[in-house]
Amino acid sequence: MFISDVDGTLTDAGMYYDERGNEWKKFNTRDGKGLSFLRAKGIKTMFLTAEDTPIVARRAEKLKVDFVYMGITDKLAFLEAFFAQHPAFSFATTAYIGDDVNDVPAMKRVGISAAPADAMPENTQVADYVCHLPGGRGCVREFCDYLLHSD
């Protein structure tokens, strides 16, 4: 299982609004390609975010992400319940990338964790791998490549 936070990880953490109040997010296509490489190897993917917006659902649908959970504030508690209900998955066999403090407890429990280059210090301190690239600029692709090409 590969789990990615969204804002600050798949995006640059910016919240863009137009004059009508419509929200926009910028995603990096290279991150999407990294997720497709994981899927080709049989690795399931998940977006796990505290935000609850149709933009995330649309991006996940386009990328064929296996699991999408939005509005999750306690990510560790959510994953404990998820793994209990889905015994084919576990913390030990999960990779997780996140950029902010609400990701840290889950990052500490998974088999391998990563943080974007511009993540909060709490994340980079606990991450097994700190990306060279920042959030929204290809860090998810970098972590996918790292996982696929490391022994």
Residues placed in the known binding site for substrate: 7
Query: Three-class SS of residue 145?
Result: helix
Residue positions in the annotated binding site? 5, 7, 99
Q: CA 51 to CA 70: how far, in whole Å?
A: 6
Distance of alpha carbon 127 from alpha carbon 96, whole angstroms: 9
DSSP H stretches of helix in 4-133: 29-40, 54-63, 75-85, 104-109, 121-126
- State the binding site for Mg(2+): 5, 99
> Residue for token digits 């497709």?
36
What tokens were used for 56? 């995330």
